[in-house]
Amino acid sequence: MQQLTVHDVQHLIANAAPAERPLLLDVREPWEFSLAALRLPQADTLHIPMQQLPARLAEIEPGRTVICVCHHGMRSLQVARYLEQHGHEDVINLQGGIDAWSQQVDPAVPRY
């Protein structure tokens, strides 16, 4: 598992080939996702709250780059480790989470 800064993730997403679009796996609660979601045209977003992940693991395509996102990067770190334990090899944790993204990349994404 890699831990990347918001700028590294922004660069990775911007430079991904169309056939290799990463998956943004947002593991926050529904109210958090509706309040401040990342909507990036160069990546696909899948919202699975952390506690639902074991039941919905099959929704995450094997072999795909998965960028795990939460509020500050702690839940997503746990999820990234879980994904690796279940065979996913290209897993990235967004350090600082959506809060860091709001502060350093896109201030239009609300902070909470």
Q: Per residue in 4-23, pLDDT tens?
A: 999 999 999 999 998 899 99
Residue 31 lies in a domain: yes
The residues annotated as belonging to the active site are 70
Q: For 55-81, how does the pLDDT look when each residue is reduced to its tens digit (9 = 90+)?
A: 999 999 999 999 999 999 999 999 999
112 located within any domain: no
For residues 100 and 71, is the Cβ–Cβ distance under 8 A? no
Q: How many domains does the chain have?
A: 1
When the pLDDT of each residue in the chain is averaged and rounded to a whole number, the result is 96
pLDDT attached to residue 58: 97
Give the range of the structural domain holding residue 87, as residue numbers without chain letter: 2-61+70-104
Over residues 49-60, mean pLDDT: 98
Query: Tokens 């279940």 belong to which residue?
Result: 86
At 39 the pLDDT is: 83
Distance in Å from the first CA to the final CA of the chain: 27
Decide if 47 contacts 3 (C-beta within 8 A). Answer: no
Q: Could you tell me if residue 95 is inside a domain? A: yes
pTM over 0.85: yes
